[in-house]
Chains A and B, each alone.
Chain A
Amino acid sequence: AQKITQTQPGMFVQEKEAVTLDCTYDTSDPSYGLFWYKQPSSGEMIFLIYQGSYDQQNATEGRYSLNFQKARKSANLVISASQLGDSAMYFCAMREPSFVSSNTGKLIFGQGTTLQVKP
């Protein structure tokens, strides 16, 4: 069964500094996708970044980058130049490929990490 583990319940970072949020995963499937979502206190889930299991390069999206270490089964999110608006809960998630007709493509989420950015 697929499983996502986020071991940091809470993190603090100083504004303008970089922060790394940890995520490890477990799956026996060779093909999978990894996602990071941000959830502010208002509740909506905001997609940040995606990494495919066969992607050779680490994904980047603006200030977000994903440190993908396949052998270690880790997919850490790096936020550079933290801003006050980055304070939120962050979820790592995994899904099976939806192009396989027998797969639903449902997301398996970790427990989340609460990030607080200090001014």
Chain B
Amino acid sequence: DTGVSQDPRHKITKRGQNVTFRCDPISEHNRLYWYRQTLGQGPEFLTYFQNEAQLEKSRLLSDRFSAERPKGSFSTLEIQRTEQGDSAMYLCAGELAGGPYNEQFFGPGTRLTVL
């Protein structure tokens, strides 16, 4: 158990609906990352927060996607007007900045299925 939790673990939705996922890192994680993993592939970077500031967004993050990290604690990832291509596992990871290559601690992921 890495101490990073994600909710929900599974989400099934119909195309066109909005969905929101939540990630709770441990309190010491001032860096937070979101990744997307499609079936049989490695995770791909989506976005990164340092405390509450969103400092980088991948071009994978279309304008239908928005992420927040209010107060530098938990983070949410919202997908508007979902498409079947959004079906994937969404992983978040926390990291305590302070060393050069600190390990990222991953949550269990949210598996999204868009029908």
Residues of A within 8 A of B (CB): 4, 33, 35, 37, 42-47, 50, 52, 91, 93, 95, 97-99, 104-112
Contact = CB atoms under 8 A, between A and B. Distances in A.
B61 to A, nearest CB: 12
A104 B55 contact: yes
A89 to B, nearest CB: 9
7 contacts: A4-B42, A44-B106, A44-B109, A50-B103, A97-B100, A98-B31, A108-B45
Contacts of B33: 104, 106-107
B41 A112 contact: yes
Contact of B100 (A4, A47, A52, A108): A52
B102 interface: yes
B85 interface: no
Interface in B27-61: 31, 33, 35, 40-45, 48, 55-56
Contacts of A37: 106
Contact of B95 (A4, A46, A105): A105
A98 B42 contact: no
Contacts of A42: 108
Given A91-B42, A104-B56, A109-B44, A45 B97 contact: no
B67 to A, nearest CB: 14
Given A104-B48, A105-B95, A112-B41, A95 B109 contact: no
Given A37-B106, A50-B101, 14 more contacts: A33-B101, A43-B89, A43-B109, A45-B93, A50-B103, A52-B100, A52-B101, A97-B100, A104-B33, A105-B48, A105-B95, A105-B102, A106-B48, A109-B44
Contact of B43 (A50, A95, A99, A109): A109
A43 B42 contact: no
